[in-house]
């Protein structure tokens, strides 16, 4: 079937895509980092823009919050618009006391207590790896341009754990040192594997139960430039 959530001419979508959760962050990236950016989707106000970065055609669009929303856009991009690579660029909570607000985390794999994979593809799995080649490229690029990252496994959760306690889930975690807590990466990685495509995730830590400070909603939208630059530099390679 044709796409119903991302509706544009096929040539308007690049083969490489950045997916922030917030469509206004997509707008910010298009206006501040891309050349000749064109708005190519407005369905449900999930803005998508296509332009060029250092001469390479690239699309940036919002994915919304949570795995169901991410799954819809990842599927349509990969399966219908023939996208080859996606980097999620999002925000998260710190997964442990050694990860601090402002850190940039490269997710090499995502663990989830959710049954998303079972619902999507009848696979009873809860750990999904990012694409190794793309993840290796991000790590190498970070070293080249001098951006510090922390890499490892992250948690993809179904609830915003700033509002609710998830201690009852932690006893079942197979990994003790989850670096960050977010809500989308597992679905992206799972669909990328099923579609034979590449996906990775860069996540900026914006809140922590171990620290008293937080990043404001305005800063979440506009002041995540290190992560954005690293994603752009990596995906064009």
Q: Which sequence positions are flagged as catalytic?
A: 207
CB of 113 within 8 A of CB of 175? no
Tell me how far apart the alpha carbons of residues 216 and 226 are, in angstroms, rounded to a whole number.
Answer: 17
Q: Are strands 180-182 and 198-207 parallel, antiparallel or unpaired?
A: unpaired
DSSP secondary structure of 63-104: --SSHHHHHHHHHIIIIIS---EEEEEEEEEESSTTS-TT-E
**Neighbouring C-beta atoms of residue 146, cutoff 10 Å:** 7
Residue located via tokens 């975690």: 173
Please state the separation of Cα 66 from the chain's center in Å. 11
């Amino acid at each position: 079937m044709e796409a119903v959530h991302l509706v544009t001419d096929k040539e308007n979508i690049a083969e490489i895509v950045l997916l922030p959760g917030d469509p206004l962050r997509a707008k910010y990236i298009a206006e501040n980092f891309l050349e000749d950016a064109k708005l190519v989707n407005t369905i449900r106000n999930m803005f998508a823009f296509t332009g060029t970065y250092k001469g390479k055609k690239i699309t940036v669009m919002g994915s919304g919050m949570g795995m169901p929303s991410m799954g819809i856009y990842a599927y349509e991009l990969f399966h219908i618009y023939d996208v080859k690579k996606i980097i999620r660029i999002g925000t998260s909570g710190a997964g442990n006391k050694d990860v601090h607000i402002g850190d940039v985390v490269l997710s090499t794999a995502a663990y989830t207590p959710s049954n998303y994979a079972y619902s999507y593809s009848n696979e009873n799995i809860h750990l999904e790896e990012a694409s190794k080649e793309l993840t290796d490229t991000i790590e190498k690029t970070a070293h080249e341009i001098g951006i510090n990252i922390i890499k490892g496994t992250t948690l993809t959760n179904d609830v915003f754990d700033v509002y609710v306690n998830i201690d009852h889930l932690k006893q079942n975690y197979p990994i003790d040192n989850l670096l960050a807590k977010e809500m989308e990466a597992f679905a992206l990685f799972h669909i990328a594997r099923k579609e034979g495509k590449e996906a990775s995730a860069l996540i900026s830590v914006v809140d922590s139960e171990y620290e008293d400070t937080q990043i404001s909603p305005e800063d979440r939208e506009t002041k995540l430039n290190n992560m954005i630059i690293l994603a752009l530099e990596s995906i064009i390679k």
